[in-house]
Structure 1
């Protein structure tokens, strides 16, 4: 009599084969809580989704994730964990990924996103598979790679490391043996430019709305309160302008429930009729707002590894104001307006001229869009990644 375990294994293989006639060679493992779906996908999920669709390996990829719902265009393996309360969610998720990978020897390359300990564990148990890791955050703040010894262990163990920016690469290699840098390369979190996206139904209007937009989390290191305090002084001078805030304290959190969000609301109470708080919205709505807005502001004070929403605003044709925060400066280059320090005065000095002068606003927007489409082109970045995959699989 066939065991239940054996039947489950066969069912998973059958589901994969039904999605494509090609057996997958590459498994892409998302963090366990990453939402790989249109309604609330974050930066990691959106980047993986677009890279999967653009890759030469598109038919040979399978994405592992802890969320049952997923983008239907990409082959997907839901990793359902049991006894997470006993083992811890990350450990239970890792063990389940390992169980599935053991069943499928046809997978030759395993790409782990943002989980160093998981990448190390998989390479230890599956030494004959190629294991790589994509780092989306400052590694010196991530579990498993905070110390020099940890980072050297990672670099000596895994087969390749991809960093989303030069800033992340610099932080990874800080203090380590220089010879280990040969295994590291930068692959930017590129986006599919709207000029090349046949699926995009929303086209930028000829005349943009007098809107300023902020898209991101409502936490102190994003500089939202400083932006709110600046806008409270600016907006009475510009009664025709509105500000749209997209986001909340964190994914899955209802907007307005944190003390920090309440402080942002309080700072803007006197100009409330010019403010539109929308909370978390689908990515399609974020892009719709960018397409209609004139100015986008990313005033982060934390160690930003990249800045995907900043790049999206640039590609959509907004005049962008941002900070010197690590990867954000790398995205902005000399196209966006970069303030040296996030203060009420600095934000006001950057935003007011853009509101007053349409010519200056358009010049900044044009430069931002040109940089987004030239430097962060999805075809260029996926070719870098696919070339590395060629070598690893070969």
Structure 2
């Protein structure tokens, strides 16, 4: 286990110089309020205790826009010689569906630039060359952003998305979580940014070339709109020379893992690679600064639950976040990983990556986080 003391600070501190002593009546004993206060250390310990069975994990807790504490344990992966490397808050991990939160941020920033809002219809912002069924064309941005479109497709490849738009009318608009809702923004964000460029590329490139261009342009615009304003650079493939956490199976089974490659052409609902430090930094900026997104858009995200799939009551209000889950492809018995970003009512945020996953009763991530958070409030 390792705890780091590095901090990132969003705002300059204000130093207050006290030139003279303040005197006051000192009669009697101080009166305790018995109000409960939040202890970061207790939150950290509660998380560590409940995550002890994971093959490896790393998390950072922010408080008031600063790195307050962190913890790592276990392994982050292993190389071709089966030499393991330790978990680290500085190694990259595919953040999986946490990507959806950042995609939502980009969309909310772009809509007003086109005189649109979340109630506007998506049809004209899909590629013109894609055949469209009328039900999908008339969907609202909000319905994609909140998984209330009725779309059920979990795949995120270009073929799946084109099929959804052309032939699969949405089902009941009941909030069923589906990756295709957000993967469609891989095609729409480039058009929302620059429709003239988008249209010219669509006209001059082959279908395959245009797909590649859209995927690369989505990643480019995500960096310009979301990551760069917070001082972060992210791509949908592992960065050369930077240790990348692998998807690992659960102990006590023999150690197995799988590396993750380039997700550029399947991104939108998932796919970006960030370190836990970068995830925490993004959360600090999104919550405490207008550099990435202003307070009006943050309020829309909160009130409409846009970009969140973790919403639960805690002792002092409502916690909001988004989780990510990946399996190697063979289901719950194969290597996997989990990621999570959360913001709590008391200006606390959590960025978490678990390098293995257990979908059984042992690790209910909502309960783990909620229990650790609530137990971190103690009498003053």
TM-score over 0.5 for the alignment?
no
TM-score under structure 2 normalisation? 0.24
Q: Which structure shows the higher strand fraction?
A: 2
TM-score under structure 1 normalisation? 0.23
